[in-house]
Chain A
């Protein structure tokens, strides 16, 4: 199992009254609440933690959100450039670039190719639709979100692999002369990752053989969505996908005692507070199919946000405890889902740098050695998620918790 260090780089200095008045921290947050000096210090601190994680043997993940106090990463490719510059060993997973929200897929193709070239192939390239609320900072039409995602992907992949100048006059993107320099270092292109749970997107990811990531879903939902992927891939004539095609993101904190881990780890639920966004932002027009939009409206979506701290630990969405306990949780994740990549959100809210550093160090010493072998022998017959062993019917998963 490969393990990734990740922080969204939050800005934790927003007063509760300001958060309340602005319906949360994201998308509609006045930037007068941002202090440039504190912001600079935060960026340096977060990059220092990436540097430590790299030295401890983690791989590294970056992302982006916009107009948000819960994420100061504004461009996953810019963050990747910063992290690459600070590190020497770990892979840098960009998860991801929200394709429908970027005006120019060609610019994305160039930036990823640049990062891959500069780093000698240390890049994993994730593409995402962008969570619902991202619709408002970018102002891209949510109705076209998934179609734009797929068209932008097709264009980027052709730009990396064509070898010739070509023209692209599609539904959403128009270029008369495309020839991206440089080409990626990893040929024909860096590994591609996708995050999402919608049926159409999971099936599309499976047919392309890309790595599918579930963010903070329940293990049941995650296993269900991975099952759809495996069945789709096999039906398309591809080899049975192994654990390296599946990734899961959890919030994580280990400490020498369970009590200490739970005390500090409580800060991680910063990202799982119940959403306060208007329905129009949590479920923008056309972003979900109408049936899923109704499910969101009726509260059948985002159930993770209503779970208690203890239930979240039991469900494994929070990996919190002693090294032995978290090792056991990760084994359970692997046994139930077959995920071969684990992204660890090791920081949230106002968790201090020392708390993050102590956790990273302890995890690297006592958990990492006990879980890295997971997934290496995935051909074992006793795994429940292997296509031949798994007779559970394929079902749709509504969506992950995030908005």
Chain B
């Protein structure tokens, strides 16, 4: 059995949400919570201030050592950025790389933001921009969203936002050093984007795929920034066939 290390995005609930549960039928799926987002390492991570810290953490974390069979690395959004930082540092460790609309690499000019400002926009705006069908939104947690939760739930959401801000405030959601090392990511790579993602536009993911030596770009219709939540079966089909095909 292969292992899939899936690095989660900002604002999502913990665990094997959406298509990750489907993938667990065939793979050992690990979805660790990032330090700072409600983990025993939160206090330690108060001193961490870059995604490089998180990459270093996961590269030395027992969750990947020893893996059950081939080790597949994946990440969505913010987690996709962490996966990119890990892949350039230790490309030999991973059989494949799967990226879902990742942040992390700036491709446009100084006056063109590559990503929506998820640290300023209201939750309703993030849902609007991040889902093909906003009313179907589920498995997201943000300050004040969804309405009607307890103060404790919202405190957690604010603390998660603070952690994200510590890692990603400036430069905003990207690491300027990352682009110059992308040529090291030689493992088979799948870049997936939802056609309706307006947090990370699909054209950004496509352009990023062009910079990766062995990447294929797939656009999932009727999905936004969270295709594994919004179109779990279609997502599962694409990723499962990629992982099984490349692991042989």
Contacts and interface: CB of A to CB of B under 8 A. Distances in A.
Secondary structure dominating the interface of B: helix
Interface in B142-165: 143-144, 151, 154-156, 158-159, 161-162, 164-165
A279 B144 contact: yes
B187 interface: no
Given A278-B122, A285-B158, A293 B143 contact: yes
Contacts of B161: 285-286
B119 interface: yes
Secondary structure dominating the interface of A: helix
Given A280-B120, A281-B120, A286 B166 contact: yes
B121 A290 contact: no
A280 B142 CA distance: 11
Interface in A272-308: 278-281, 283-286, 288, 290-291, 293-294, 297-298
B169 interface: yes
Interface stretch (A138-146, A196-204, A209-217, A331-339): A138-146
A284 B170 CA distance: 14
A285 B155 contact: no
A309 interface: no
Interface of B: 117, 119-122, 143-144, 151, 154-156, 158-159, 161-162, 164-166, 169-170
Given A139-B169, A143-B166, A283-B158, 18 more contacts: A141-B169, A144-B166, A278-B121, A279-B122, A280-B117, A280-B119, A285-B164, A285-B169, A286-B162, A286-B165, A288-B158, A290-B156, A290-B162, A293-B158, A294-B143, A294-B154, A297-B143, A298-B151
29 contacts: A139-B169, A140-B170, A142-B169, A278-B120, A278-B121, A278-B122, A279-B143, A279-B144, A280-B117, A280-B119, A281-B120, A283-B158, A284-B119, A284-B165, A285-B119, A285-B164, A285-B165, A286-B165, A286-B166, A290-B155, A290-B162, A291-B151, A291-B155, A293-B143, A293-B158, A294-B143, A294-B154, A297-B143, A297-B158
User: A-B pairs with the 10 shortest C-beta distances?
Assistant: A286-B162, A285-B165, A290-B155, A141-B169, A280-B120, A285-B161, A293-B158, A290-B158, A143-B166, A290-B159
